[in-house]
Structure 1
Amino acid sequence: LKGKIPSDVAVTGGLSGDQDRFQETFVFSDNLPEKNTIIAVGFYGERLKIGYGSMGGWDSFGPDRLVTSSKGNILYELDGKPALDLYKKYLGEQAKGLPATGLLFPLSLRLKDKDTGLVRTILSVNDKDKNMTFAGDVPEGAYVRLMKSNFNHLIDGACGAAKMSCESFGSDTPDLAILISCVGRKLLLKQRVEEETEGVQDILGKSATLTGFYSYGEICPVVPTEKECELHNQTMTITTFLER
C-alpha cells in the first residue's frame, strides 16, 4: 500500500477475519467471495472531511528490550537473548497456556524513528528454536515492551480512538464512523465488548451512524497529523466522515 499510494493520501482499514475460527478469510467483490484480494474505496470532495484514530488501551510494563534478531514477523532475540525465554519469564504461570495466553500479553513495538508504539499480537511460539511469531513485522533495531490487559483501559482506548478521529472537526460531529476492532479484543472483553461501541457512540454523538467489523489487523496512521499507514494489532481503529 505504501509503495503504490501517494504519500499525501491517508489509508485506513482492516484485514478480513472469520470471527474467531482462524481458518480462512474472504472479501466480497461484485457480490462474490474472493481470497487474497484487497478492496479499496477512495473518498474525496470539497465538502468532505475525514478523520481517523487508532488506540489500544493496553498497559505497558517492564523495561524496554532491543530487538537484536528477527526476520519479518518472527522474533528471535531481545537484548541478545532468546526472545521466548524472556517472554516466558515475565508471564510466569501464564506461560503454560501459550500461545493462547499470548493474546493477553501482546508487545508494544516502538520503531527507531517513532515516538509512539504499535501493538503486536503473538500468533505462535516455537519452543525448540526459542522464537515467536507475531501478527505483524518486528524489525531489528526496534524496542519492545510487554503489555497486559485491563478491561476498563481497553474500553477507554476505544473512546480515545473516537476522540482522536474527530479532532479536526471542531464542534461538528461526524455523519458516519467505520469501526474496526481486533477480534482479539472481542475475545478478551467477552460480554463487555458492547461497551466499546457504546463508548464510541457517546463520544461521536447519537446522530453518527456506526458500522464496521472485527478484524485480524487494523490499518491506520499512528497519529492524525500523519498520512503514512501502519499495521496495528489489538486496537480499535476508527475512520470518521463529515460532509457539510
Structure 2
Amino acid sequence: MRVVVAHTEDPDVDGAIDEIAEAGRAGLDGRAPVAALVYAGIGMDHAGLLRGIAKVWPGLPTIGCTTDGECSSTLCFSEDSAVVLLLTGEGLRVRTSVAQGLAADTAGTVRRAVGGLDGQAAPPLMIALGESLNVSGAGIVSALNACVPASTTVVGGTAGDQWKFSKTYQFHGDRVISDGVALMAIDGDLEVSVGVESGWKPIGRRARVTRSKGNLLYELDGKPAMERFRAWFGGHTLPSPEHPFAVFEEGAEDSYLRAPMPLDPDDGSIVCAGDIPEGAMVQVTEAGRDQILDGARNAMRQAVALYPGDQPSGMLLFSCAARKQVLGTRTHQEIEALAEVAGGTLTAGGFYTYGEIGPLRPGAHASFHNETVVAALVGS
C-alpha cells in the first residue's frame, strides 16, 4: 500500500488541479490510485476541483468535505487550500456512498449511506465525513455504530467552514452536497491503528448530568448548568472551548470531550458542540498550548504502539477546529509534533473538523469527539 499526498494553495482551480496532478503522479510513480480523499477550504471552487480530479483519474472513488483548515506532511498547516490523499495498493477494494437528509432523519440517512456500500458494511476501515451544522455529530456516529460492527475501525470528522457556522459541504465523486454523510469502505490487505488524545486534563470534582437534551446541558446535580458552571469559575464567566467537559458515560472507563459554546441562554443551560447524555458524569478540564501539543504527540504514540505491522504507509489526520482556535499561531506545531513522533518521514494528510470520529480503544465502536486529535495509521 502507498499513500500519496498532494497539497495546493493555488486559489485558481485550474492551477490547483495542475499541482495536484503533478504531485499525485510523481508520488504514485506509475501506480493506479484506488481511492481519493479531498479536503478543501470553504472558499474554493469545490465542483471545479472535483471535476478536475475526476478528469485526471477517471472513475476514482472519491469522498471529501470542506474544512476549518487543511494539513499535510508537505505544506504542514494551511487555510483556503486543498489536500488530496491518494491511496493505492494491490488487493485493496474500495466502495463509496453518500446520502442526504441528516437533519430530518439522521439514523435513516446513515442507514441509506451504509446500504449504498454494496455489501461492504464490515470492512477493516471506514472513513465517515458528515454535515456538522443543525445535525448531531454524535447522532451520526451512533447511527453508524448501529449499522457497522465494532470490528470495523471507523474514523473521520464533520465538515467545517472556517468558523463561520453558515454552510458546509460534503463531496462524493464530482458531487457537492450539504446535509449529507459520505462514506468510504476499504477492504483487503490493510492494517490500521488509531490514536485518540486531546491534552486536556480534568480538574475539580465531577458532577452528574441530571437533565439534558441533545447538545443542551440543562442541569448538573439538579441545579441549572450555568449556575453550577459559574460556581466553579465565578462571576459572569461564559463557558468556553478552552475548558471543555470530560464526559464519563455510565459504566464507561474512558471519557470524551464536549466543548461548551460561549453563549448565555435565558434558561440557564449550556450549549455544547456535541450531545451529552443524561446520567453521565462531567468534569471541567484545562490545558495550555504546550499540553494541547503534547496531546497530539500522545495520539501519535498510541497509534504507533498499536500498529500491527512493521511500517505504516501513511496517516489520516482529523483534528478539531477548537484546537486550532486555542493554538492560534502555533497551530502548525501540532502537525510538526505528530511528524516528530512518527519519525518525520510519514506521509500524512487531513483537516480541522467540527467534530472528530474515532474509537477510544481497539475493538471499540467509534465515539464522537470535540477538541481531540484522531490519528489513524494505515498500511499493508
How far did 1:170 drift? 6.0
Aligned partner of 2:372 in structure 1 is: 235
1:120 aligns with 2:263: no
Q: What is the distance in 2 between the residues matched to 1:140 and 1:239?
A: 30
TM-score, normalised relative to structure 1: 0.91
Relative to structure 1, the CA distance from residue 23 to residue 202 in structure 2 (aligned partners, 3 Å threshold; closer, same or farther) is same
Deviation digits for residues 151-187 of structure 1, max 9, x if unmatched? 1110010011111112233683321101111001101
Kept in 2, the 8 Å contact 1:11–1:227? The answer is no
Q: RMSD between aligned alpha carbons?
A: 1.7
What's the secondary structure of 1:140's corresponding residue? coil
Counterpart among 360, 363, 369 of residue 222 in structure 1:
360
Partner of 1:202: 340
**d(CA) in 2 for partners of 1:231 and 1:171?**
27
Rg (Cα) greater in structure: 2
Counterpart of 2:372, as a letter, is T
Point out which structure has higher relative CO (alpha carbons under 8 A, 6+ apart): 1
Partners of 2:327 and 2:164 in 1: CA distance: 17
Count of residue pairs brought into register by the alignment = 237
Q: Distance in 2 between matches of 1:184 and 1:168?
A: 27
Q: Out of 218, 227, 232, which is 1:90 matched to?
A: 232
Structure 1 runs (4+) deviating above 6 angstroms are none
Distance 1:168 1:106, change over 3 A: closer
Given the alignment of the two structures, is residue 191 of structure 1 paired with residue 329 of structure 2, yes or no? yes
Query: What runs of 5+ residues in structure 2 fail to find an aligned partner?
Result: 1-143
Matched, 1:180 2:323: no
Unaligned runs of 5+ in 1: none
Task: Rate the CA distance shift 1:195–1:93 in 2: closer, same or farther, 3 A.
Answer: farther
Counterpart check, 1:107 vs 2:245: yes
Mapping 1:1-244, distance limit 5 Å: 1-46=144-189, 48-92=190-234, 95=237, 98=238, 102-123=240-261, 125-169=263-307, 172-223=310-361, 225-243=362-380
Counting aligned pairs with the same residue, the percent is 31
- The answer on whether the counterparts of 1:51 and 1:240 sit within 8 Å (CA) in structure 2 is yes
The answer to whether the 8 A contact 1:82-1:131 is kept is: yes
**How much has 1:202 moved relative to structure 2?**
1.3
DSSP 3-state at the match of 2:234: helix
